[in-house]
Amino acid sequence: MISKVTGIVSYKGTDHILIDVHGIGYEVFVSELTLTKIPTSGDRISIYTELIVREDLLQLVGFSTRHEREWYRLLTGVQGVGSKAALKILGTLQINLLSRSILTGDSTAIKAAPGIGPKIAQRIVVELKDKVASLIALEPEPSFGSEVVKMQNFSDTETFAESNKELEKTIIESSEKFDTYPSHLQPEALSALTNLGYASYDAALALSNVLNDNPKTVELQELIKLALKNLSPKA
């Protein structure tokens, strides 16, 4: 398995790049969004990869983060979604929008990807709705070419982490009377909501409201869904 390639970008095509690794060229196919993050020819790059092996095909697919690669694996695990379709989806939708669409059961945004019809879009929502919560709860990671991930207008990642810890503490303290909730659940839900693009304060407030309204234990997936509903604009 070739899971990562590090070398010099020697060529950028419309759907792939060529990476020179000590004189050997690796052709790596990428999504449209990932292609926009690739540095110019002559620059050094490290890219996460997935090797596709078939009787008539041996192909590398590249991703800017391991998180994106996990999403690719999820998508290609859906019946009727091949490698090209998965890259079209990842090239059309930011991961936070894709996550939100699946969690809320709305396939409209997914249908915007070229070649993705309503049946496939709905199948993606149905088959992945119970699998995405743990994935979006993962800490965000910088993509290649990015040394610092700037989020929520904080000047550095350390300040962001410290602020997030304070928010997690607030949520946990506000729901201490609900001893049925696992201690890890609220921080994971907060991380998931901020990864979906919500401001930390808004996400913390929504979770606090949900925990107060739902004293019985709910799974991470359901907790995130309830928080998203709380965050939705009121009519």
Residue 84 has pLDDT above 60, yes or no: yes
Q: Which domain-ending residue is among 136, 170, 197?
A: 136
Mean pLDDT over 40-66 rounds to: 90
Mean pLDDT over 28-54 rounds to: 91
pLDDT at residue 171, rounded to an integer: 52
* Residue 203 phi, psi dihedral angles, 5° rounding: -65, -40
Residue 159 has pLDDT above 60, yes or no: no
Same domain flag for 222 and 178? yes
Residue 185 counted as domain residue: yes
pLDDT at residue 209, rounded to an integer: 75
Same domain flag for 71 and 118? yes
The domain of 108 spans 66-136
Q: Across the chain, what does the average pLDDT equal?
A: 78
Same domain flag for 225 and 170? yes
We report the CATH number of the domain holding residue 43 as 2.40.50.140
Reported confidence tier of residue 221, pLDDT bands at 50, 70, 90: confident
Residue 142 counted as domain residue: no
pLDDT at residue 55, rounded to an integer: 82
Residue 145 counted as domain residue: no
Q: Rounded to whole angstroms, how far apart are CA atoms 14 and 23?
A: 23
* Residue 175 phi, psi dihedral angles, 5° rounding: -120, 20
Q: What is the pLDDT of residues 95-111, one digit of tens each?
A: 888 988 888 888 999 99
Would the pTM of this model clear 0.75, i.e. be above it?
A: no
Same domain flag for 70 and 130? yes
Same domain flag for 55 and 85? no
We report the CATH number of the domain holding residue 93 as 1.10.150.20
Reported confidence tier of residue 184, pLDDT bands at 50, 70, 90: low
Q: Rounded to whole angstroms, how far apart are CA atoms 97 and 60?
A: 26
Residue 146 counted as domain residue: no
Q: Which domain-ending residue is among 44, 63, 82?
A: 63
Same domain flag for 219 and 165? yes
Q: Rounded to whole angstroms, how far apart are CA atoms 132 and 230?
A: 19
Same domain flag for 43 and 89? no
pLDDT at residue 20, rounded to an integer: 95
Same domain flag for 170 and 195? yes
Q: Which domain-ending residue is among 48, 63, 78?
A: 63
How many domains does the chain fold into?
A: 3
Residue 151 counted as domain residue: no
Residue 194 counted as domain residue: yes
Residue 16's Cβ-side half-sphere holds a number of Cα atoms within 13 Å equal to 12
Burial grade of 62 (CB within 10 A; 0-12, 13-18, 19 or more): buried
Q: What is the pLDDT of residues 163-172, one digit of tens each?
A: 555 555 555 5
Greater confidence (28 vs 232) lies with: 28
